[in-house]
Amino acid sequence: MAKKVKKRTVDEQLLQSIFALEREWKQIQAILGKSVESSYDGMFTEKLAREKYLYLLREARRRKISAVRYSK
């Protein structure tokens, strides 16, 4: 029998993932901004991180999750 996961727990994990992906995306952006010549791989990695971040933001909006509500 599967363990029932509470909605609040899943929502908190989603918010943690959003914050982690935002940091990752910003870090990649900063590295590419400082580089003299951006490689295709670097630009692809930055775009992929951005799309992951935006996807999770859309999911949070769909679930009506607010970071203010879950702050400790």
Q: Mean pLDDT across the chain, nearest whole number?
A: 88
**What is the structure's pLDDT at 39?**
87
CA angle, residues 57, 22, 27, in degrees to nearest 5: 155
Q: Rounded to an integer, what distance in angstroms lies between the CA atom of residue 37 and that of residue 9?
A: 42
Tens of pLDDT along 35-68?
Answer: 888 788 989 999 999 999 999 999 999 999 887 7
Q: How confident is the model at residue 5 (pLDDT cuts 50, 70, 90)?
A: confident
Instruction: Find, among 18, 22, 23, 25, the residue nearest to 70 by Cα.
Output: 18
The percentage of the chain sitting over the pLDDT mark of 70, rounded to a whole number, equals: 89
**What span, in angstroms and rounded, lies between the C-alpha atoms of 72 and 45?**
32
